[in-house]
Amino acid sequence: MPEQRRPVLLAVDDDDHVLRAVRRDLSRAYQERYRVVASRSPAEAMRILDRLRERREEAALILSDQRMPEMTGIEFLVEAGRRFPGARRVLLTAYADTSVAISAINEVRLDHYLVKPWEPPEERLYPVLDDLLSDWESAHEPPYQGIRLVGHRFAPATHRLRDLLTRYRLPFRFEEAEPGDPAVPEVVLPDGRRLARPGHGEVVAALGLATELSHPHYDVAIVGGGPTGLAASVYASSEGMATLLIEAYVPGGQAGTSSRIENYLGFPSGISGVDLTNRAMAQARRFGVDVLAPVEARRLSRAGRACVLNLSDGKEITAATVLLSPGLSYRGLDAEDAARFEGAGIYYGAALSETESCVGRHVWIVGGANSAGQAALHFSRHACHVTMVVRADSLASGMSAYLVDEIAATGNITVMTNTLVVATGGADRLEHITLRDNRSGELTTREAEHVFVFIGARPRTEWLDDLVRRDAHGFLLTGPDLGPVAGLASWDLPRPPLLLETSVPGVFAAGDVRANSVKRLASGVGEGAMAVSMIHRYHSES
């Protein structure tokens, strides 16, 4: 165990000769399992104990001399016990004070007393301390040494950090903060560092997950780390291209939030979006892909034949080609006051970080497509009941048949069709929702603490301005969908755009963000691979 994480044996005595002897004997027998600390005064010893408690370290045994100028040993051990109730407390005393020590055992629950001198320690010291430390170890629950997140469960900022750590598959312990604590949310790292109200980039950097750029110029820069971007990065890097993957949040995209994907080829028992994403990330890193996350692409421009990307962290990246696969953003719930409760009862996507909060509760799912069905089945294994609010006449109109059948066979899922959420309400967190029956117009208000929304999405293409042509809904036009390119100022090649090439030569688009694409995981992965072959062709022409 690292030295600073070993439980502490603390000895306190104002007599230097005695203190050296105690420290020597403790170190000789216990230094491999414990950290031996010595102090000449009770005041200093209290400060040591306070620091240990602040750092969430443990004191296993505290030995104190009885006769000290600032306070007696018994008084000190009483105070020490308030800081570390489980620590074993031993009084060092002269023969004349044994009656005081015996009284202390009964009155203040002192664990033992030792009469000075204790030579030889093998007979008069170690047997006593061995028993006490054995008792302490058997009753002791080691403190949690991993990442801790301190915050308010229904605060949006806390939810975002919970989601970030969950998506990165970083085990952490959540601790409810005291009301009014100005430092929360706070991430406490295993080495003791505390990040108060950190941004996502600060957390990623502190955990050593940030990537340094290894190339001054890239063959291909991929914007968006969903399945499409991940597939393209694996294929491009495996074929020798210098590849950069830029993701605004956590690699995986919307697929990464899916609790279970059951219709993806090769996984007959299904796979979670997080697991699939982590496998893809492991492949990408093995082939040498540089990954920047969480970093947003803010602007795309051209410098001759090169593409230039300006990023949210201040970096400027140049690449011979760019693949745009930034994916989609969930559409907001169009209900009164809904924006006020985002991250405080209303969540977009499966929000697997909130699963623990939903155990034994009633969960509401808004939406009727596959992602909503997968979320309903996931939460049905944890919540007491799941209610799906669906605008359509039935689930079959927008959901795969296998999911419809599974939902029908799950006893604690109720489906409300022809229904909309029209209002939300509560104080600091969501407490109730108002539903409208589209057939009768009837309004009903129901208690609701956990609402997960899956009602469509919009492409993340606003940052491209007018450089790349889009359709009326913001989806990127490619290949034949662009129509004649003779009049386009941005097109200067003698050939027409390739199938996945945008209105800017060397800039490609794939996946959900491309106009008229098939919005399915497998097709997105396929387009990512297809885009790489077209990027190869573009390089060969240049």
DSSP string, 362-393: EEEEE--SHHHHHHHHHHHTTSSEEEEE-SSS
CATH topology of domain 147-206: Glutaredoxin (3.40.30)
Q: In the chain, where does the domain assigned CATH 3.50.50.60 lie? A: 218-327+465-541, 338-453
Long-range pairs for 232-235 at CB < 8 Å and ≥24 separation? Answer: 232/323, 232/325, 232/510, 232/528, 232/529, 232/531, 232/532, 233/284, 233/287, 233/289, 233/528, 234/280, 234/283, 234/284, 234/287, 234/289, 235/528, 235/529, 235/532
Pairing status of strand 346-348 against strand 507-509: unpaired
CATH superfamily to which 3-139 belongs: Response regulator (3.40.50.2300)
| Count of residues in the chain | 542
In sequence order, the β-bridge partners of residue 220 are 243, 321
Concatenating the DSSP letter of every residue in 294-335 gives: T--EEEEEEETTEEEEEETTS-EEEEEEEEE---EEEPPP-S
Element (H, E) at 233: helix 227-238
In sequence order, the β-bridge partners of residue 149 are 174, 187
pLDDT tens digit string along 453-471? 999 889 999 999 889 999 9
Counting residues of the chain whose pLDDT is more than 90, the rounded percentage is 71
Q: What is the pLDDT of residue 1?
A: 44
CATH classification for the domain delimited by 218-327+465-541, as one of 2.40.50.140, 3.20.20.70, 3.40.50.300, 3.50.50.60: 3.50.50.60
Closest CA to 255 of 157, 314, 170, 325: 325
Q: What is the pLDDT of residue 96?
A: 65
Phi, psi of 317 (to 5 degrees): -110, 135
| Residue 259 DSSP SS3 | coil
| Residue 59 DSSP SS3 | strand
- Taking 50 as the pLDDT cut, the residues of the chain under it are 1-2
User: What number of H helices and E strands is found in the chain?
Assistant: 13, 26
Closest CA to 527 of 505, 513, 511: 511
CB 502 within 8 A of CB 324: yes
Q: What is the pLDDT of residue 114?
A: 87
Q: In the chain, where does the domain assigned CATH 3.40.30.10 lie? A: 147-206
Q: How far apart are alpha carbons 300 and 37 in whole angstroms? A: 59
Measured between alpha carbons, how far is residue 313 from residues 201, 316, 343, 356 in Å?
A: 9, 9, 25, 33
Query: pTM for this one?
Result: 0.73
- Which CATH architecture does the domain made up of 338-453 adopt? 3-Layer(bba) Sandwich (3.50)
Q: What is the pLDDT of residue 456?
A: 85
Q: How far apart are alpha carbons 93 and 121 in whole angstroms? A: 15
pLDDT tens digit string along 486-537? 678 889 899 999 999 999 999 999 999 999 999 889 999 999 999 999 999 9
C-alpha angle with apex 188: 183 to 194, nearest 5 degrees?
55
Contacts of 355 (CB under 8 A, 6+ apart): 378, 379, 382
Q: What is the pLDDT of residue 143?
A: 65
Q: How far apart are alpha carbons 393 and 408 in whole angstroms? A: 15
Pairing status of strand 88-93 against strand 147-151: unpaired
DSSP for residue 211: -
Residue with tokens 């979320």: 375
Say what the alpha-carbon torsion angle 186, 187, 188, 193 is, to the nearest 10 degrees.
Answer: -90
CB 261 within 8 A of CB 255: yes
How far is C-alpha 258 from the chain's CA centre? Answer: 15
| Residue 223 DSSP SS3 | strand
Give the orientation angle of helix 273-286 with respect to helix 227-238, to 10 degrees. 20
Residue with tokens 């469509």: 456
